[in-house]
A and B are shown apart, each in its own frame.
Chain A
Amino acid sequence: MIKRIIGRGVLAGAIAGLLAFAFARIFAEPQINQAIAYESGRDAATDALDKATGVTPPMAGPDIFSRTIQSTVGIGTGMIFFGMAMGAMFAVAYALCLGRTGRLQARTLSLLVAGGGLLGFYLVPFLKYPANPPAIGHPETIQQRGSLYLVMVLCSIVFLIAAVWLGQKLKPRFGNWNATLLGGAAYVAAVVIVMALLPALGHLAANVHLYGDHATETPLPLTDKAGQIVYPGFPADVLFSFRFYSVLAQVILWGTIGLVFAPMAQRLLQPAPATTAPAGTPDPVAA
């Protein structure tokens, strides 16, 4: 049973990753290209400023893979394998929820677990540390940003599991509806506390030291010594579109996992009684 659940989860994840990849190809890549164009233009402007003041510009990083590779096979591999990994996580969570989360139907549970995955793995961390296109993010802070993001992911997932556990504990006393609300409220409260405690990326010591006191790392207009703007700040529309499509891609990914897994789980766990159940069970229900 467990092997079949995991296999179906990974399959649903692969399909979901494929769909998210198609979405990314159509919607994300144009935004990524605009962000990279902005970055190149800004680097050129910075180099020109440095030369004018007699500073040697830093060397550019190596291009191991071409943009063509990155924007096709690269992002495809990333999205599909990410989908499969999330499908596997989903299956583990689904198997653990079976029989422990009340009288949910197989298909309903599938959608709920997928919603939990979206929330825990992506949406809640995104509220604090949203996705950024290329050109946003200072190399000096990658370690801190990486660690902070993982702390946020870990907290949101652990709190979500704890909230479900709490809801189950409170159910006998407060009833299904109120216990669910209480569990949800506890989750929101815990997440808000962690978000308030973790620093904004712009407030990291290295950023304040190098760039001044700003909330984020989004590039501001580049100015010369006289204070004239020589290169604009990061285009707001590109940033919004990139983040919006990033959220949509995750909704597609987790939505597909939940919807593809649901009928497979039902066939696996609740087969139609007419064919497999022994006599004496209630009439089959065409659900």
Chain B
Amino acid sequence: MSSLSAPAESAAPAIPAVISGSRATVWLISTFIIALAVYYFIGVDQGAFSVFGNDMHIHEFVHDSRHFLGFPCH
């Protein structure tokens, strides 16, 4: 058994193949959009672009993390 461990490893149950179908696609796209929105509000909004006009609350609140995560801040 132990001598077979290498081939057995590669013969381990294969990963279920491609995830597909319209329901999965909807989940993938909506997750992507929500994650993108969070990324935008933490990293970008009220800096280079602003969806709430001149307000600076989000920018100032996450100010330190924005710098530390590598985004240009102000």
Contacts and interface: CB of A to CB of B under 8 A. Distances in A.
Interface of A: 1-3, 5-6, 24, 28-29, 32, 61-65, 69-71, 73-75, 77-79, 81-82, 84-86, 88-89, 91-92, 95-96, 98-100, 103-106, 109, 122, 125-126, 129-134, 137, 139, 142-147, 149-150, 242, 245-246, 249-250, 269-271, 273, 277, 281-283, 285, 287
Nearest to A1: B19
Closest 7 A-B residue pairs measured CB to CB? A146-B48, A78-B65, A99-B17, A78-B62, A85-B38, A145-B72, A88-B35
**Which DSSP category, helix, strand, loop or mixed, fits chain B's interface?**
helix
B15 A95 contact: no
Q: How large is the interface on B (under 10, 10 to 19, 20 to 34, 35 or more residues)?
A: 35 or more
Given A100-B18, A125-B70, A283-B1, A147 B11 contact: no
15 contacts: A64-B61, A75-B64, A78-B69, A86-B39, A95-B19, A95-B28, A98-B15, A99-B17, A105-B15, A129-B72, A132-B67, A132-B73, A269-B16, A270-B13, A271-B13
A146 B47 contact: yes
A32 B5 contact: no
A98 B74 CA distance: 40
Contacts of A132: 67, 72-73
B23 to A, nearest CB: 7
Contacts of A82: 38-39, 42-43, 65, 69
Contacts of B27: 2-3, 6
B5 A285 contact: yes
Contacts, number: 194
Interface string B45-67: 00111000000110011111111
A74 B61 contact: yes
B73 A126 contact: no
B3 interface: no
Contacts of A86: 35, 39
Given A2-B23, A137-B72, A285-B9, A104 B66 contact: no
B8 A283 contact: yes
Given A98-B18, A99-B19, A134-B67, A78 B47 contact: no
Contact of B19 (A2, A29, A245): A2
Contacts of B57: 64-65
Nearest to A122: B70
Given A3-B27, A82-B42, A77 B61 contact: yes
A118 to B, nearest CB: 12
